[in-house]
Structure 1
Amino acid sequence: MTTLEEISSIEDEKLILPPDVNPSALRDAFVELVHTVGAENLQIITSDRIMPDGQGDYFNLPKEHDLFYAMDKNTFLASAIVAPGSVEETSTIVKVANKYLVPLWPVSRGRNLGYGGAAPRIRGSIVVDLGIRMNRVLNVDPKNATALLEPGVSYFDLHNHLQKNGIHHLWIDNPDLGGGSVLGNTLERGAGYTPYGEHFSMHCGLEVVLPNGEIIRTGMGALPGNNTWQLFQYGYGPYHDGIFTQSNLGIVTKMGVWLMPDPGGYQAYHFSFPRDDDLPAIVEVIRDLRLKMIIQNAPTIRNALLDAAVYGPKSQYTSSTEVLTEEEVGEIASKISVGHWNVYGALYGPKPLRDLQWEIVRTAFLTIPGATYRFPEEVDKSSGLSIIHMRDETLKGLPNTYELGWLNWRGPGGSLLGFSPISPTTGEDANKQYQMVKKRFTQFGFDYMGTFVVGWRELHHIVCLTFDKTNPTERRNAHRCISLLIDDAAREGYGEYRTHLCFMDQIASVYNWNGNALLKFNETLKDALDPNGIMAPGKSGIWPARFRGRGFEIVPEEPKL
C-alpha cells in the first residue's frame, strides 16, 4: 500500500528510475496510479525494499525481481507493482505510462519459473500484476466445453471452479506446476500433457489493451452481441491472436479456452529403459505412434535425474558433488525404480479403444531391449506417492506442484534456468541435442536433468539447469553455459521456443534469416502500435525505437567457444 504522503516522502536516490524518467515524473505517475487503482493496489519498490534472499518461494514470489536471478539481483528490478481490478483500470494505467514514458511489464501471476518470473526486462519498469485482482472465471459453458478467464486464474483455480460447480465432465490441461496462470502459460506458448496439451491451439478469443490504452476483442469478439467468441477462433479478416503471444504489443485481460470433455476412460502407463543410449530408439517409436495418433497426448521422455530430483536433493543419493557419471545415474535410477530414460503417457477413451491402442503401444516399445512397463495401480502408495502417481495426476489434468523438487537438487539456494530448444522428432536429433547439452553441463559442473516432449511433429527438449543463486561463481557458470548452448543449438539448426529475460536478445539474434527480416518486421509492428515504447520493452528481444541501439541489449560478453 502506498499513500500520497509516502510518495512525496521517498528520497530521490532510493527510487528505481526507468530510462528517460526523472524522479519528479515517476512520482507524478505514481500519484495518478493511486487515483486509478487505490493506495492499497500500488506498491513502490525502493532500493531498501527488495525481498531478501531466503524469503521468496513459489507460493510467495517476489514481483520486483527474478527469484532465480542468474545475473546481478538488481539487473531486472521494478520501480513499482500496480494491480488493476478491471480492463478499464488497465487501460488507464497504460495511458498514464504513455504520459510519463514509464515502461510497463505486464504479468499474469508471475510464476514463469526458469524464465524470469515477474521481473521486468528493463530496470525501473512498473510491473502490472494482473493476478491479484483480475482472477475470475467469468464463464463456463458446460455444453460446448469452453471457459472465459481473467489473467489471474491459475490451473488450480480453474479445476476447483469446475469441481465446486459440479462440472465434473470437463477436464483441464495443466503444465508441470499448477499454480501458474492459464492465460499466462498460453501466451508464453506453454504446454501440458493431455490431448489438449498444445495450449495456444486450445485458446479461443482475446480481449487486449493496446499500447495506447485502446481495448479490442479478437476473433468473433469484435461482433457486438456475438454468441461464438469462445467457439470459433478466427472471426473475420486477418487473424491477430498470435501477435499477442510472447510479445510486447498489448496486455491480454480476458481469454477463452477450450476444455476437454471426459474421454470416457483413462489409463496412465510408464515405460522404463535401462541404457543411456536407448534415447534414439525411444524417439523413433514415439514419432511413429504420435503421427498416427495412436498416442493421443504429448508423452514425455524423462531422464532419471529429473525423476530423482522430485524426491529429494542430490545429497540424498550420493556424497559426490561432482557431475554424476552414467554409472552413478544408473545406480540412482535403480534406487527409485525407474530407468535411465522413462516414458510417461496415457490412453484416453472407452476401454475397447484403449485395449487396441495399448496393444500397439506395448508391442512397439518392447522392441527396445530391456524395456519394461507398469501402471500406477500396480505401485504401492502406502509409503507416499511415487513418480508414476505424480505423472498420473498430471496426465489427467489434475494440477499439482510435485515438480518443485527440481529446485532443491543442489541444496539451499536452489534456482532454475530453463533451456528449451526445438528439433525434428528423430532419434538422431534427440541424441545430438542430449550430447550437446551434456557436454556443456559437464564443462560447467552441472548434472544433466531434462525431458523430451513430443508434440505433433516437433520435439521439445526441456532442460533444467539448477544452480545456487547465492554463489556468484555458479550464477556466472549457469549464465555462460546457457549462452553457449544457444549458439551450439543454432549451429545445428535448433532454436529455442521460450527463454529467460537475460537471453532474449541473444535468441532473437539467431533467428536472423534474410538479414534479420523477422526482427525488422517485429520492430515495425512495435513502432506502429507503441510509438512511445512503454509496453514491455525488450520482451522477446523486440525493442521500441526510443530504446533501440542504446545498449540495453544483453549479448554474450565473451568470445563464443
Structure 2
Amino acid sequence: MNPPNLEAALTEWRAALGEANVLTEPEALTSAETATFATTQRIPAILRPSSTAEVQACLRVAQTHRVAVYPVSGGRNWGYGSRVPPRDGCALMELSRMNRILAYDERLAYLTVEPGVTFRQAYTWLKERGSPLFITTIGGSPEASLIGNALERGDGRGPHSDIFNHVCGLEVVLPNSERVETGMARFANAHAAPVNRWGLGPSLDGLFSQSALGVVTRMTFWLVKKAPYLNEFVFTVKEDSQLWEAMDRLQQLALEGTLRNSFFFWNDVKALSVMRQFPYEVTGGRTPLPGFMLEGFREEFGRWAISGAISAQDEELGTLLERRVDKALEGLARRLDFGPRPPDYESSFHGKPSDANLAMTYWRKKHPVPENPHPDRDRCGFIWCSVAVPFTSEEAREASAIATRVPRMFSLEPNVALLAVSPRCLYLVVALAYDRDEPGDDERAMACYQALQRELVQAGYYPMRLGLPGFPEELPVQDDSRALLKRLKEAVDPAGILSPGRYGF
C-alpha cells in the first residue's frame, strides 16, 4: 500500500533530483523488492541522489509529506536483505551515484569516500596509482559499498578485519535534513579530522552504525601498508577434537602478534560449497547431502580448513613466523601446498576483491554459477546468521554444535565458519543455502533461521549483525538501553521517516 501523500512527494523529489533519478517503473521496483529469501515489502519509488545536498532535499520532502525513506549504498547486502526495506511503503534511496573518492593521503594512509564507492573501485583506484597501501576487502561482492559494509560492521581480510574500528570523520544527514560531522571534522580547518577518530567530547560515530539515525554520506577509511613478505596458508583438520586444540594455540599466536591478519575456520560444507555445487547427479535429485558423500571430501580436505596469511617486513622474519604457526599446529593439522603463485598473483590479504565466495549462494541451484553472479536476480536462497563468540575452544565448540545441529533438523547442510576478527572474539557465521525455485524452501529456510537465532541467543550467543529477517522476537535486554535509543530516535526523527523497523527502531 502506497503512502497517502506519495504523489505530492514524487513531484517534489523529481524537481530536486531530476525526472531520470526518481524511478517508479514496475520492473525497477520489482527488482529492488527481491532478496535471497521471501519478502513481501513493496517499494513505491527509488530515489537516486548524487550529492549530500540532494540527500538533504530528499529527506526534507520525506518529512513534509511523511513518506518513509530507506537508504542503501551498493545494494549488495546479499544474505541479509539486499535492498529490501524492513517495512512496506518506504521509498528506496540508492546512493550509488555518490561514488567519488574525495581524499587520499599516502603518508598518513587514509582514503575518504562517498557511499557509492565499491571495494573494486577503491582497489582499482589505488592500484592505478601504484599505491603501497590497501583497503581491507571482504568475502562478499566486489561491487559492495565500502561505507555500507562498514556501517553494518562487516568483517574483512587483513589486520583491519574489524572494518568499522578503522574509520573516522563521518558526514551524516539526519532525518530532519540537518548535516553533522563526527570527530574533529566538525571543526573548521581541522587538520587531524581524517586521522583522529574520537575528536573532542562524546563520540558520535557509533550512533550511525547499524542504526536508523542518519544517512552517512562520507567516511574516511584507514589503509594498511602492504607487507614486503606475505604468504597465505591453508591447513586441514581431520577431527573436531583437533580443531579445538588448534584454535586455542592460534588464539595465543594472535594475542602475541605472530598472526596480525584475520584468519578463518571453515567446516567441510562451507569449503565444498565454494568449490562446487550440490551433486544432484549423484543423489538422484534428493536433498540434503548424505553424510557418506562428505566423507570422501573429508579424506582429501579434512573436516575443517584453517586459512590465513603471514605478513612481515622481510622474508627472514616471515619464515620465522611461519615456523611458529607450523609448530603450533604440528600433530593437529596438515598444511596444504598449492605450489608457487604466478608472478602476477594478488592476494585478498592485500586488498584484492573477488566474487569467488558468491558461489556458495548457488549451492543448491540446478544451473551453473554464472560469470556475473547476482543471487537476487538468479533466485538463490541464502540467509546469513552471525553471532559473536569469545575466542576460546570451549565457547566455539558449544556455539558450533548448535550451528551444526539446527540446520540438519530442517534438511539444510550446516555451512559453518568461525572468523578470527581479533585475539579475543570470533564471529560464528552460518549460511543457510537453498533454492528459491523449490516449493516450500523459502518457508523452511526462514523457520530454520528463526530456530537457529533462538537457540544461539538462549545459549548466550547474540547477533553481531542482523539482516532483514531480524530476530523472531524482541531481543531481551537487562538495562535501559532500549529506552535511551528510543529517545534518541524520537529526537532526531520524530516523524519516524528514516528506515522504520531497522534494527528495532
- TM-score, normalised on structure 1? 0.83
State the Cα deviation string for residues 227-283 of structure 1 (Å, max 9, x = none): 221110111110000010000000000000001012221111111112244332232
- The question of whether the paired residues in 1 share the 8 Å contact of 2:159 and 2:261 is answered with yes
Give the letter for the 1:395 counterpart: F
| Structure 2 CA distance for aligned equivalents of residues 181 and 504 of structure 1 | 25
Amino acid at match of 2:420: V
**Deviation, structure 1 residue 476:** 0.9
Secondary structure of 1:510 counterpart: coil
What do the CA deviations read for 1:200-240 (whole angstroms, capped 9, x no partner)?
Answer: 11112100001110111111111111222111011111000
Alignment-mate amino acid for residue 470 of structure 2? F
State the secondary structure of the residue aligned to 2:440: helix
Q: State, as a whole percentage, how many aligned pairs show the same letter.
A: 27
Match of 1:186 in 2: 150
Change (3 A) 1:525 1:375: farther
Residue in 2 that maps onto 1:270: 234
Runs of 4 or more above 6 Å deviation: none
**In 1, Cα distance between the equivalents of 2:33 and 2:397?**
36
TM-score normalised by the chain length of structure 2: 0.92
SS at match of 2:257: coil
1:453 aligns with 2:419: yes
Query: Counterpart of 1:234?
Result: 198
Q: Can you give the 5+ residue segments of structure 2 that lack an aligned partner in the other structure?
A: 367-378
CA distance 1:49–1:128, shift in 2 (3 Å)? closer
Equivalent residue, structure 2, for 1:464: 431
Q: Does 1:407 align with 2:361?
A: yes
* 1:467 partner SS: strand
Aligned to 2:475: 510
* Distance of 1:103 and 1:460 partners within structure 2: 33
Partner residue of 1:434 out of 400, 424, 439? 400
Q: 1:398 to 1:49 in 2, by over 3 A?
A: closer
Could you tell me whether the CA contact under 8 Å between 1:279 and 1:430 is conserved in 2? no
Task: Note the C-alpha offset of 1:286.
Answer: 2.0
SS at match of 2:196: coil
Give the C-alpha shift of residue 318 in structure 1.
3.7
2:405–2:414 contact (8 Å) kept in structure 1? no
User: Contact between 1:189 and 1:246, CA under 8 Å: does it hold in 2?
Assistant: yes
For 1:518 and 1:279, the matched residues in 2 are separated by 38
Aligned-partner SS, 1:343: strand
Deviation for aligned residue 1:510: 2.3
Letter in 1 for 2:35: L
Aligned to 1:417: 383
The gaps in structure 1 that reach 5 residues or longer are: 1-15, 52-61, 382-388, 543-561
State the SS of the aligned residue for 1:28: helix
Residues 490-526 of structure 1, C-alpha deviations (whole Å, 9 max, x = no match): 11110011122122563xx224113xx2222211110
Q: Which amino acid aligns with 1:409?
A: W
2:186 is matched with which residue? 222
Change (3 A) 1:31 1:205: same
Tell whether the 8 Å contact from 2:155 to 2:421 is kept in structure 1 after alignment.
Answer: no
- Mapped to 2, the partners of 1:171 and 1:376 lie a distance apart of 25
Compare relative contact order (CA 8 Å, sep 6+) and give the higher one, 1 or 2.
2
1:470-549 equivalences in 2 (<5 Å): 470-504=437-471, 506=473, 509-514=474-479, 517-542=480-505
Q: Give the distance between the partners of 1:372 and 1:426, measured in 2 at CA.
A: 22
C-alpha contact 1:207 1:253 (8 A) present in aligned 2: yes
Per-residue deviation at 1:487? Answer: 1.3
Query: 1 CA distance for matches of 2:292 and 2:398?
Result: 20
Give the Cα separation in 2 of the matches to 1:257 and 1:161.
Answer: 14
**Residue 464 of structure 1 aligns to which amino acid in structure 2?**
A
Is the contact made by 1:45 and 1:79 (CA closer than 8 Å) also made in structure 2? no
Question: 1:38-117 residue pairs with structure 2 within 5 A?
Answer: 38-44=18-24, 46=26, 50-51=29-30, 62=31, 64-70=32-38, 73=39, 75-117=40-82
Instruction: For 2:101 and 2:280, locate their aligned partners in 1 and report how far apart those are by CA, in whole Å.
Output: 42
Q: Say if 1:419 and 1:463, in contact at 8 Å, map to a contact too.
A: yes
Distance in 2 (CA, whole Å) between partners of 1:454 and 1:420 is 13
Question: CA–CA distance in 2 between the matches of 1:489 and 1:356?
Answer: 39
Deviation at 1:327, TM superposition (A): 4.1
Q: d(CA) in 1 for partners of 2:450 and 2:404?
A: 14
Aligned-pair CA distance for 1:91: 0.3
2:15 to 6, 31, 35: 35
Q: Distance in 2 between matches of 1:367 and 1:511?
A: 43
Q: Distance in 1 between matches of 2:59 and 2:255?
A: 45
Contact 1:66-1:76 at 8 Å conserved across structures? no
- Within 2, Cα distance between the matches of 1:375 and 1:242? 42
1:551 is matched with which residue?
none
Q: How many residues align?
A: 488
